[in-house]
Amino acid sequence: MASVDVTVRGGGIFGLAVAWACARRGARVRLIETARIGAGASGGLVGALAPFAPEGWNALKAFQLDSLLMAEAWWGAVAAAGGVDPLYRRSGRLQPLADAAAVAAARQRADAARDLWQGRAEWRVVAAAGAAWEPASPTGLLVEDTLTARLSPRAAGAALVAALRAAGAEIVIGDAPEDGAVVHATGAAGLADLSADFGRKLGAGVKGQAVLLRHDAAALPQIYAGGLHVVPHGDGTVAIGSTSETDWQVAGPDEQAEALVARARAVMPALAAAPVLERWAGVRPRAKSRGPVLGAWPGRPGHFVANGGFKIGFGLAPKAAEGMADLILNGNFDIPDRFSVEALLG
């Protein structure tokens, strides 16, 4: 491909998703990844697409809600285009309630969800059934939500690559010329580039660790308990995550990964004998705003930024990608102003 309409730098979830959204609109796309697809945080294990609690409503929570509600159809289109399953499932989630105050707060959130979630998902308080796949709850009550979903990060990356190739996009591992509009979706390194360009710290990488266990709970809900996401995947595995480390000495997995295993088995005794398949560590991009950074790169005409997914990048990807594609190809900016680079600059 000698010339393209859009060049995307970065083979993580934001880069792949923006490239796909542009390609399926008919744009000629080149995606450039210097290392490998999912080389950064997008090559992890967890894949929890979990909503914020329905309270203290703001632009980020509304944006995430829209993205989670469109995710099933969006990932279905990706799978249909390329023939690769991202292992998406709207699995729902269970959370224990520790005391009467937690129960009261959960009931208030259930009322809010009825309004804010548009009747397309529920947040409700239910009695624990005593099932094996259920967290222990001191009150005997659980929060059950029907909006939480999951996918396999690596399978999702492979599905997007397959869809892009089916659409005629060029994928380069290494380097290649930039033609057309240029999208910078390069994770923690990209936040460092932004910081250097504007002479101030606009974000940084945060190390996260996760583990993967062999245990078949593919048809069962996610669990959030004890600060852990316990995420059953469609391939007979369960992912456990994750840590958030702003200061670390070792880039790879360390003793904190082992602690995740112990905590998961304490929270979910059903995992007591589940063998560990993998321990993973990566660096996730967190902007100083703690939200995504989406839009034009000020002072660089024709250049755009898609970054700052941090822990919720996979959940935000469908909405972020479609908004970025509309901006790049049509000039329509239907992305909240608070996510722009100008807002990050403050």
What is the DSSP annotation of 264-330? HHHH-GGGTTPPEEEEEEEEEEEETTSS-EEEE-TTSTTEEEEE--GGGHHHHHHHHHHHHHHHHHH
What does the pLDDT read at residue 179? 96
For residues 9 and 32, the answer to whether their CB atoms sit within 8 Å is yes
Return the structure tokens found at 132. Answer: 């094996």
Query: Which tens digit of pLDDT belongs to each residue from 291-334?
Result: 999 999 999 999 999 999 999 999 999 999 999 999 999 999 88
Q: What angle do CA 156, 160, 166 make, to 5 degrees?
A: 145
237: tokens are 């595995």
Low-confidence ranges of the chain (pLDDT < 70): 1-2
Supply the DSSP symbol for 241: E
- pTM, to two decimals: 0.97
Domains of the chain as residue ranges with CATH: 6-89+148-202+289-345 (3.50.50.60), 93-146 (no CATH), 203-286 (3.30.9.10)
pLDDT score for 334: 86
Helix or strand or coil: residue 337?
helix
- What's the rounded Cα separation, in Å, for the pair 64 and 284? 18
Residues facing 184 on adjacent strands? 9, 305
Q: What is the pLDDT of residue 2?
A: 53
Helices (H), 83-186: 100-116, 153-166
Q: What are phi and psi of 255, to 5 degrees?
A: -60, -20
Rounded Cα gap, residues 69 and 66, in angstroms: 5
Helix (H) or strand (E) holding 144: strand 141-145
Give just the sign of the alpha carbon dihedral 324, 330, 332, 338: positive
CA atoms within 13 A on the CB side of 296: 13
Q: What is the pLDDT of residue 333?
A: 86
